[in-house]
Amino acid sequence: MERVVSFNRAGKELGLTHGMSKVRADTSGQIYFHLRSIPEEKAALELLFEVVKRFSPRVQIIASPVNGYANGKQMAAVLLVDQSGTETLFGDARSYAESIWKALQALEFASNVAVAPNAEASLLLARSYTGVTRVDAKDVQAKLAPLPLSMLTVEAPTLATLGRWGIRNLGELAALPETALISRIGQQGKRLQRLAVGSEDHLLVPQEPSFVLSEHVELDGPLESLESLLFIISPMLETLLRQAVNHAYALRNVTITLHLEKAAPHRLEVRPAVPVQNKDLLLKLLNLKLQADPPQAGILGVALSAEPAIPQVAQRGLFQSQFPEPDKLDLLIARLSAIVGEDNVGSPVLSNSFCDDEFVMAPLQPSAVKSTLVPQATTRAALRRFRPAQPAKVVYRDAVPFILHWRGERLELRSAIGPWQSSGYWWDGRRWEVDEWDAVVSQPPQSLRLLHEPESGSWYVGGQYD
């Protein structure tokens, strides 16, 4: 069921046609087949758009490989660019077209660039002539005249009708009487004739496609070496960084997806402490990540995606403590994560729970925090917690703690207030429950925080008031 969707000039000379089956095409001669990759085509279109945007802020994507223009069968991307207002930067129209063409050639894009007074005429010329084409208003009709009718957006019945009349090119179409043409094929005839003479109007609608940082590469065979994989990732990462820098962005994170042979895709993510524009740092982080979690099968394809972010720039005070260099900090975190695990490296964040010392590890996000003077508050008692809580024994009187055995001593309690009961996580199997008391010891005078676990009946001294 595989079909031919595109071929070069040599393939055309061998008799290839669009829609031809692979089996039939294989009998035409020495044919080398490439599997079509939609992700690679989209990535190429985005890169093409980025290059053209350097020459004009008004660019419209007329067609892409998955959306043919003017019934064209070739797998081409068609962009319409407004050249007005760029003369002081790039010179006249000829110089402007050559600058765009050279920029595309530098990226090995086979391209045709045409400049004409009319948008539709420039599109027809770019699809029909190779290299750079420049025409004036007085020469545009003569340049369009030898082009075949198949270059126009025309329905097959209309094209067949014109063929029966003996019309083969745009020059012959332009020579027909306008009134007689309209009376026979309707208003469509007027539009086709205006296209043939290069006077059909086109409303340019500038667009800005979504800024997506992604690269995709399909491999010819399974890849198992990590060094070879990094050799492939390096230029992909360089392309992502170049696109981000052109938009004044840095990379907040990079995600790599490895398509494996007879296995589910393997996905890894690296997130530096701060957005960076350093390819060597990101490549090293990816290397450490892959060493810690290598793929378990041969690699058939590699996809890179990144999240752009505004570069973090902070002016620190002269007498404030300095943060570690971001590059060294990220590498240190990556190496520590490989040793102790990612869940054990980061910044502790208190959980929304009444359980004492309940916290989770969040990714490290250093920030420059200005020191502020805290106004002097009224003196009050502070609880100094014991970590871990110290075991103790308690004797009750009237359901209230009266005697405390702690640190080998027998302490008489002058008063005890409580209990404050709290519990949690009963819904997921991590149930905990504790009763808290504030007690005052008669001799030596001191105030303590007592903890009681009803389920086990154990008592602890959880802290001391200072």
Provide the token pair at 69: 């223009």
Q: What does the angle CA 3 – CA 209 – CA 122 come to, to the nearest 5 degrees?
A: 70
How confident is the prediction for the chain on average, in pLDDT? 84
Residue 75, Cβ neighbours under 10 Å: how many?
A: 15
Provide the token pair at 422: 């709290």
Average the pLDDT over 439-445 and give the result: 91
Provide the token pair at 154: 């025309």
pLDDT score for 459: 93
Instruction: Give CA–CA dist 2/26, Å, rounded.
Output: 11
pLDDT band at 449 (very low <50, low <70, confident <90, very high): very high
pLDDT band at 24 (very low <50, low <70, confident <90, very high): confident
CA distances from 202 to 4, 194, 301 (A): 32, 12, 41
pLDDT score for 209: 66
Q: Go through the domains of the chain in sequence order and give each one's CATH number.
A: 1-34 (no CATH), 63-197 (1.10.150.20), 383-465 (no CATH)
pLDDT score for 318: 63
Instruction: Give CA–CA dist 58/302, Å, rounded.
Output: 33
Average the pLDDT over 200-217 and give the result: 80
Instruction: Give CA–CA dist 38/42, Å, rounded.
Output: 6
Residue among 313, 290, 303 nearest 239 (CA): 303
Residue among 242, 256, 253 nearest 365 (CA): 253
pLDDT score for 70: 45
Asked whether the beta carbons of 213 and 243 are under 8 A apart, the reply is yes
Asked whether the beta carbons of 320 and 371 are under 8 A apart, the reply is yes
pLDDT score for 390: 93
Which has the minimum average pLDDT: 283-287, 305-309, 369-373? 369-373
pLDDT score for 44: 82
pLDDT tens-digit profile of 147-183? 888 887 777 888 888 888 888 888 888 888 888 888 8
Asked whether the beta carbons of 273 and 329 are under 8 A apart, the reply is yes
pLDDT band at 71 (very low <50, low <70, confident <90, very high): very low
Provide the token pair at 31: 């044919």
Instruction: Give CA–CA dist 271/292, Å, rounded.
Output: 15
Q: In percent, how much of the chain has pLDDT > 70?
A: 91
pLDDT score for 350: 85
Can you tell me which residue has the tokens 């005052």? Answer: 440
Burial class for 125, CB neighbours closer than 10 Å (0-12, 13-18, 19+): buried
pLDDT tens-digit profile of 213-255? 888 888 888 888 888 999 999 999 998 998 888 888 899 899 9
Within its chain, how far is the Cα of 91 from the centroid?
36
With b for 16 or more beta-carbon neighbours within 10 A and e for fewer, the 31-68 pattern comes to: eeeeeeeeeebbbbbbbbbbbbbebbebbbbbbbbeee
Ramachandran quadrant class, 85 (left: phi over 0; alpha: psi -120 to 50; beta: rest): left
pLDDT score for 314: 57
pLDDT band at 260 (very low <50, low <70, confident <90, very high): very high
pLDDT band at 367 (very low <50, low <70, confident <90, very high): low
Taking the CA of residue 197 as centre, how many other CA atoms within 13 Å lie in the half-sphere pointing to its CB? Answer: 13
Q: In percent, how much of the chain has pLDDT > 90?
A: 23
Instruction: Write down the pTM of the prediction.
Output: 0.53
Task: Name the more confident of 154 and 419.
Answer: 419
User: What does 4-60 look like in DSSP terms, one character per residue?
Assistant: -----HHHHHTT--TT-BHHHHHTTSS-------HHHHHHHHHHHHHHHTTT-S-EE
Which has the minimum average pLDDT: 120-134, 347-361, 404-418? 347-361
Q: Does the pLDDT at position 122 exceed 80?
A: yes
Task: Name the more confident of 360 and 256.
Answer: 256
Instruction: Give CA–CA dist 425/411, Å, rounded.
Output: 34
Burial class for 387, CB neighbours closer than 10 Å (0-12, 13-18, 19+): exposed
pLDDT band at 434 (very low <50, low <70, confident <90, very high): very high
Which has the minimum average pLDDT: 32-46, 86-100, 269-283, 424-438? 32-46
Which has the minimum average pLDDT: 38-47, 89-98, 104-113, 259-268? 38-47
pLDDT score for 259: 92
